Homo-oligomer: A and B are copies of this chain.
Amino acid sequence: MACQSVGEVDGTPYGAAGPMCSRDVSAGFPQPGHDHHPCRLRFVAGAEAVCREKGARLTRVRRQVLEILAASHRPLGAYDILEQMVSTSPSGRRPAPITVYRVLDFFQELGMVHRLSSRNAFFLCSQGGHRQTMPFWLCRECDTVTEASLPELEMAMPRRAAELGFSPISVQVEVEGVCPHCRARGRDPVMVEGCR
């Protein structure tokens, strides 16, 4: 039901900051302040494609949430989204929290939205769904999240699991640190392999 591999849009994973979107892009980390318009279009077009493909209904509420998520490379809390729904919506009506959560569940089922559990926040998958374990790289400075695979992890996990006699069902990797752009702008913090 979830996690199906989905093609790219335009040959570009649709969240990645492509050449149209920003010049100085370090390996997929969007430049803060870049022209986000093309990103947004790509995000939304990609999501529409996924929904079409899977026969899922992209209703008004869902589209609204999608647009809000697509308008940012940062993970948003459910209540952030809710606030933006109020200010975005022409009617100015305030949906109940459950409405937001329902939409988020829907998108998560389709693998189109990920949840950053360390922050209770949600963001659009930049790939439109994927089978692999995709680590999330979260910048502590600018709050940007990107997804970048870690092939060694893919390789090692099944082996290690077998060794332990453990059957993995899902793997969540969250890397917190400082993105290239923020690093360029300030002193970098001490590199620590976190144990917390």
A28 and B140 CA atoms in complex are apart in Å by 34
Tell whether A29 is near chain B: CB-to-CB under 8 Å: yes
Task: Report which of B115, B132, B190 forms a contact with A193, defined as CB distance below 8 A.
Answer: B132
- CB neighbours of A152 from chain B (8 A): 152-153, 155-156, 160
CB distance from A69 to the nearest CB of B (A): 15
1/0 per position for A141-152, CB-CB distance to B under 8 A? 000000010111
A164 and B175 CA atoms in complex are apart in Å by 12
Copy number in the complex reads 2
Tell whether A61 is near chain B: CB-to-CB under 8 Å: no
A132 and B194 CA atoms in complex are apart in Å by 7
Tell whether A137 is near chain B: CB-to-CB under 8 Å: yes
Question: Once the chains bind, are B156 and A168 in contact (CB under 8 Å)?
Answer: no
- CB neighbours of A161 from chain B (8 A): 175, 177
Task: Report which of B148, B155, B172 forms a contact with A118, defined as CB distance below 8 A.
Answer: B172
CB distance from A156 to the nearest CB of B (A): 4
A69 and B27 CA atoms in complex are apart in Å by 42
Q: Which residue of B lies closest to A194 (CB)?
A: B170
Interface, chain A (partner B; CB < 8 A): 2-3, 26-29, 108, 111, 114-115, 117-118, 125, 129-134, 137, 139-140, 148, 150-158, 160-161, 163-180, 183, 188-196
For this complex, 22 residue pairs linking A to B, each with C-beta atoms less than 8 Å apart, are: A2-B195, A29-B166, A115-B196, A117-B174, A129-B195, A131-B192, A134-B195, A150-B153, A152-B160, A157-B175, A161-B175, A166-B178, A166-B180, A167-B189, A168-B175, A168-B176, A168-B194, A169-B190, A170-B196, A172-B174, A173-B173, A173-B174
